[in-house]
Amino acid sequence: MSTVSKSAKPASRETGSGMERFNAIRPGTNAAYSTLFILLALLCIIPVIFVIIISFSSEDSIGKVGYSFIPIEWSLNAYKYVWHLRNAQGIPTVIMAFLTSVGLTVAGTCLGLILISTMGYVLSRRNFKLRGLYTMLIFIPMIFHGGLLSTYVVNVQLLGLKNTYWALIFPLCCSSFYVIIMRTFFQTSVPDEIIESGKVDGANQLRIFVQLVLPISLPALATIALFLTFAYWNDWYQASLYIESKMQNMFPLQYLLVNIEKNIQYLANNDMAMSASSDALPTETMRMAIVVIAVVPIMFSYPFFQKYFITGLTIGAVKG
């Protein structure tokens, strides 16, 4: 509660002309609001902490007191066994999935940035002949879509993407929402003079785009990159559609989580499962350990990137 009492000094408000101190809410109201928000914040964080605690509990403790904030015995066994889950090549399954997730995220984000930024730039050029047509091209998918079945049938039967990494990359790499954010940014933040000066110097559009426009558009690029990064990192849905369960080596981390829900034994490849007698596997805590491995990178990175998200959201909310 120390934050609350300290904050009762209205002078701590940085913004405004000084008038605001007279317009602030009463200290009592402030205390009530503060308490409410502290509770809401806890509500959002506690599940993560809970899962972390479970992953460090011993299987014994879970048998006795269940999933608990105060386990009777701590243990690193879950992580040890997760490390010992190996695939046929002897690589830890979790490391494999982690690397797959990282690879997909990097590749998808790069490809997405190229597709989105070029389209955003082209749409921002006011005298481009096909601008009207392109606007429709971008707009229609925002209100109408083919649905899961026809998308699936096209991707699998026409494009042959089943059990390929492309199936996990292509469907997520571009979206009209991102294109519009990018276009709006180029329209409002890149002065026409820069592009004109490039043309006067005889540069073609590709050069203008790469050498003049992109370097001054880093904030918008960062925003889009982050949207894409989190979308790829958290994706399990595409994998559940396009990767068959026998293709274990292709699982991204999130899809590994889906599968171990059904059966963790199934992921333990023969020899390794033998050496650790199968009853001894701390399955309950192992699941939670993998959840922690998937969540921790996000948890520690998003506070730093939050502001780019907010920029993106506010640009995106400007209607096109």
Partner 1 sequence: MRKKTDLPTGVKTRKKKKFTLDDVQLFFLSLPTVIWYLVFCYLPMFGLVIAFKNYRVAPGKGFLYSLFYNSKWSGLDNFRFLFANNKATTLNMFRNTVGYNIIFIILGVVLPVTLAIMINHLHSQKLAKVTQTAMFLPHFLSWVVVGYFVFAFLSTDNGLVNRTLQKLGIDTVKWYQKDAIGYWPFFLIFLHVWKTIGYSMVVYLSSIKGIDASLYEAAMIDGATKWQQTKYITLPMLKTIMIIMFIMAVGKIFNSDFGLFYRTTRNSSSLTSVFLTLDVYVYNSMFNNPRPVYGYISAAGFLQSVLGCLTMIIANAIVRRVDNESALF
Q: Which of residues 59-118 bind partner 1 (CB under 8 A)?
A: 62, 65-69, 114-116, 118
Of 99, 106, 141, 216, the one binding partner 1 (CB under 8 A) is 141
| Residue 211 binds partner 1, judged by CB under 8 A | no
CA 278 to mean position of chain CA atoms: 34
Among 262, 259, 264, which Cα is nearest to 279's?
Answer: 264
Query: Residue 202, by phi and psi: left (phi above 0), alpha (psi -120 to 50) or beta?
Result: left
Residue where the block lists tokens 């797959």: 100
Nearer to partner 1 among residue 50 and residue 83 (C-beta): 50
Closest CA to 176 of 237, 127, 135, 210: 135
Smallest separation (angstroms) from partner 1 to the CB of 90? 27
Check if the beta carbon of residue 243 is closer than 8 Å to that of residue 250: yes
Say whether residue 214 binds partner 1 (CB under 8 A). Answer: no
Q: What is the CA radius of gyration of the chain?
A: 25
Q: Which is nearer to partner 1, 18 or 90 (CB)?
A: 18
When asked if residue 56 is in the footprint of partner 1 (CB under 8 A), the reply is no
- On whether the CB atoms of residues 237 and 51 are closer than 8 A, the answer is no
Report which residue type is found at 24.
A
Give the pair of three-digit tokens for residue 238. 């595409």
Q: Within 289-318, which residues bind partner 1 (CB under 8 A)?
A: 291, 294-295, 298-299, 302-303, 306, 309-310, 313-314, 317
Q: Is 74 helix (H, G, I), strand (E, B) or coil?
A: strand
Q: Closer to partner 1 by CB, 41 or 99: give it.
A: 41
Question: Closest distance between partner 1 and the C-beta of residue 269, in Å?
Answer: 23
Return the residues of window 145-184 that contact partner 1 according to CB under 8 A: 145-155, 157-159, 170-171, 173-174, 179
Q: How many chain residues touch partner 1 (CB under 8 A)?
A: 117
Among 79, 98, 121, 185, binds partner 1 (CB under 8 A): 121
User: Shortest approach of partner 1 to residue 278 CB, angstroms?
Assistant: 19
